[in-house]
Amino acid sequence: MYEDIKRNKIKTGIIVSLFTLMIALIIYAVCNYLGLGEFTIFFAAIFSIISAIATYYNCDKIVLASVRARPATREEDLQLTNILDGLMIASGLEYKPRLYVVESAQPNAFATGRNPKNAVICVTTGLIEKLNYRELEGVVAHELAHIKNYDIMLSAVISVMAGFVVLLSDMLCRSRFRARRNNDSDSKSGIEGILMIVGLIFLILSPIISNLIQLAVSRRREYLADATAVSFTRNPDGLISALEKISSDDCDLDVASTSNAFMYIENPFKNKRKKQASSLFSTHPSVSERVMALENLK
């Protein structure tokens, strides 16, 4: 587990650097195309660095705002808060995550935040209403496991940055550029030409790259979080039953998007969740495979 935590921290640094470079190249290509002059590289570098820093320190707030989550209260969500209090001792975590609730009939949950000190667990009202105590405990334990394993830092950064790059790419691809074009090839250096070409390539491929990065980090972490959750609860049956209920539920989760779907305990898009076998392009292992792995822990 400690090796996975170390790898997650390294992956986060690498991904932040790659996304910073990607955003810089996209901005550079667009600014160059619009003929904004010699300050293009400087502007692209400053913009990408500021966006990366803002994303890292505000990733939890951005994710929570995107799903329109509200803080959980002991008065309204007593069972949920009691479950988290009970799991804190078993988890060994020093800081208790903040609890949030999303108004949705689909039972689902995710954890986010840049580190355990700034972590958040978010569940849907459907999860609270449709799962019994032991099942809900299994789900909360699964999200606590993501926090302890530092999965949240990696997934939150990827979610926000992927959403930002896809939004930027979509906005720029739909826009009609009406800037004047400079046809004097001598006015552009070879390096500028190469950077512009690379930036345009990233602009086209960025949604694909974002999806591939999500796929690369999601599947293994779900198995590890399931196993870690069982070490907290000592009850694999609760998590098994919860996964089966979540998978079989047909309600929609309107606030889910392609940039944050991989964060949930189970794929929130019901048409994709119904596939029994894990496909190459699925961000989650199939429930049947996860249940089999959990059965082996008994």
The residue written with tokens 């392609």 in the block is 258
Given 135, 137, 143, 222, the catalytic residue? 143
| Residue 143 known to be catalytic | yes
Q: How far apart are CA 3 and CA 147, in angstroms?
A: 15
CA–centroid distance for 292 within its chain? 25
Is-contact 70 100, C-beta < 8 A? yes
Q: How far apart are CA 123 and CA 43, in angstroms?
A: 40
State the DSSP code for 265. Answer: S
Residues annotated as part of the active site = 143
